[in-house]
Amino acid sequence: MESSEEEFYGRSSKTSRKFDISGPTGMVSRQSDDGTGSGEGFGGSRDLDGDAQLSDMPANGELSNATLSFDDIDAIGDAMDDKLDNRPAGRSQAEEAGRAMVTHLYEMGKSVASGIAGLARGDSEEFDKSSIDPVGYRWSWVEIDKKAVIHNVGIYRKLLGPRVKIMAVVKADGYGHGAVECARLAIEAGATWLAVATVKEGMELRDAHIDVPILLLSQPPVESIPALLAYDITTVVYTVDFAMALGEAAAKQDRVAKYHLSVNTGMNRIGVWCEDVEEFLNLISFHKGLKLSGVLTHFATADEHEDYFFNLQLKRFTEAVDTIRGMGIDPGIVHCANSAAGIRYKRAYFDMVRLGICMYGLHPSNVTHNMVDLWPAMSVKGRITAINEVPVGEGVGYGMSYRSPGGVKICTVPIGYADGLSRSLSNRMSVIYKGKLYPQVGNICMDQFMFEIDQRSTLMNVAPEPEIGDEVTIIGTDGPSSVTLDDMADALGTINYELACRFGMRLDKVYK
């Protein structure tokens, strides 16, 4: 084998073990370090005694410029040896070696193509996605405390008493916490209804084999009616055209579609105006394919100190429900209280309370903070991926908005504004590392941010030595330090709802 390799590879020390498989003729040329080829090769499409013909090689250079590994070349050499040992009489060693090499390259190409096709089909044998923990894909994640969700629903269960139902609102992927998992936790803790904002959200719950009643909180397009019926999703209704279309579709299937009537009591977003409820029901209640199974409204100011407008809305809603009953129509489940009203206004309970933001341990406003003991369910965490000792005066990140004072280490964490960490917080926030707060520095990037650890130690404050893989808390508590969604929302001039939804969009969720 040694003499054959030397004869084939060439005796020049400048010749590398690298080959170019070029084009439709299957030409194989030896490549030298200067990039020039030796010109040796085997072209044409001659019969190879039952092996592959060169005309069968992949056309148009599909294997062109492929680089062979040492193992590939050793395998070619073994094939050449076998051919030489068993070559027909009268055939030269060089000719037989060429035949062996081209045949082996052809078979190797077919094997590679087969593997690629398998990957394209998604053959599970190639890679099992479940074999890697979500955090293993990227060192950043949202951590959801399951006990907190159960605790928060339990708080409302005790507050409302046994008669009043709980509707757990899991729209927007459970306010970023994960709709399916949080729906299951809420049901475990006593919720008997679920609420969503889109048809697809309801379908996701049904696909996860969740079978409690689901209410769609806003009337969808007419085109979605087949999905509503197929997935047994109850919808809010507030236009005659949609109601008639829903009734007709249900009647064609010999079914009755249940719906909840949305009443506009002053928020002026959706719903039938409170004074027009009787006229609306007279237009649709005759339809055999429709059944009113609930009436609702939504409060605009239940979480504010001033309660004048809340009381006005509640009065209008109560009168609308009385009108429906006066028509001889059963209103079904009557509900209007959201999270804040569930804490503050017992007279708004009726038959059911819709539990939204408080289920996730977040308060709707400062008004309710001292009224119930909620446990925040969401933490946002990451791990350090890079550490740099940045000399004095050197900048960090896009735009160089931060300059190193010297004596600091700059740590990078793979969370950015595409993950919900607003770029507006650049140089204005802190993160928790080993129980202490450290300033975020430089402009927050799309997928990463940086923070500073001062390396100047004192007797009272010994600087930590950060390491790759160390955990950092962006939202949550570590030791005596804590950063909340409320803190971040206040800095941004927004609400905790928005930030929870943002963080839940791209980051993987880990439930504990």
State yes or no: pLDDT of 173 exceeds 80: yes
E-strand stretches of 204-297: 214-216, 234-237, 257-264, 272-273, 290-296
The predicted structure's pLDDT at residue 132? 77
């035949």: which residue's tokens?
99
Catalytic residues: 171, 398
Please give the average per-residue pLDDT across 360-383, as a whole number. Answer: 96
Tell which wins on pLDDT, 62 or 195.
195
Q: What is the pLDDT of residue 46?
A: 38
82: pLDDT strictly greater than 80: no
Q: What is the mean pLDDT of the chain?
A: 85
How large is the average pLDDT for residues 185-193?
98
Question: Is the pLDDT confidence value at 183 over 70?
Answer: yes
Q: pLDDT for 258-283, tens place per residue?
A: 999 999 999 999 999 999 999 999 99
Q: What is the pLDDT of residues 345-369, one digit of tens each?
A: 999 999 999 999 999 999 999 999 9
**What is the band of 76 on the pLDDT scale with cuts at 50, 70, 90?**
low
What CATH number should be reported for the domain whose range is 378-511? Answer: 2.40.37.10
| C-beta separation of 235 from 219 below 8 A | yes
Cα separation of 80 and 97, whole Å?
Answer: 5
Please tell me whether residue 472 adopts helix, strand or coil conformation: strand
User: What architecture does CATH give domain 144-368?
Assistant: Alpha-Beta Barrel (3.20)
Query: Which percentage of the chain shows pLDDT scores above 90?
Result: 71
SS3 call for 304? coil
**CB of 475 closer than 8 Å to CB of 379:** yes
Structure-token match 């092996």, residue found = 51
The domain spans of the chain are 2-121, 144-368, 378-511
pLDDT reported for residue 301: 97
Contact 26, 46 (CB under 8 A): no
pLDDT digits (tens, 9 = 90+) for 19-75: 444 443 344 444 444 444 444 443 444 343 444 444 444 444 444 444 555 566 666
The lowest-confidence range among 4-18, 413-427, 452-466 is: 4-18
* Selected residue with higher pLDDT from 195 and 134: 195
Tokens of 470: 């160390």
3 vs 293, which has greater pLDDT?
Answer: 293
Other residues' Cβ atoms within 10 Å of the Cβ of residue 104: 21
Rounded Cα distance, 419 and 266, in Å: 36
Whole-angstrom CA distances from 374 to 55, 97, 150, 151, 377 are: 74, 78, 10, 8, 9
Span 233-248, pLDDT tens digits: 999 999 999 999 999 9
Q: Among 8-17, 171-180, 182-191, 470-479, which stretch is predicted with the lowest mean pLDDT?
A: 8-17
Residue type for position 299: F
Q: Which residue has the tokens 């060693």?
A: 93
Sign of CA dihedral 236, 239, 242, 244: positive
Q: Which letter, b or e, does each residue of 124-133 get, where b requires 16 or more Cβ atoms within 10 Å of its Cβ?
A: eeeeeeeeee
| Runs of H (alpha helix) within 327-390 | 339-344
**pLDDT of 400:** 96
What is the rounded average pLDDT of the residues 332-340?
98
Mean pLDDT of 412-416: 98
The enclosing H or E element of 196 equals strand 193-196
Average pLDDT of span 388-416: 96
CA 409 to chain centroid: 32
Q: Give the C-alpha separation, 246 to 287, whole Å.
A: 10
Mean pLDDT of 279-300: 98
DSSP H/E element including 65: none
Per-residue confidence (pLDDT) for residue 127, from 0 to 100: 77
Q: How confident is the model at residue 87 (pLDDT cuts 50, 70, 90)?
A: low
| pLDDT on residue 109 | 65
What is the pLDDT, as a whole number, of residue 122?
57
- 3-class secondary-structure state, position 142: strand
Cα separation, 426 vs 77, in Å, equals 60
Q: Given this model, what pLDDT does residue 465 score?
A: 93
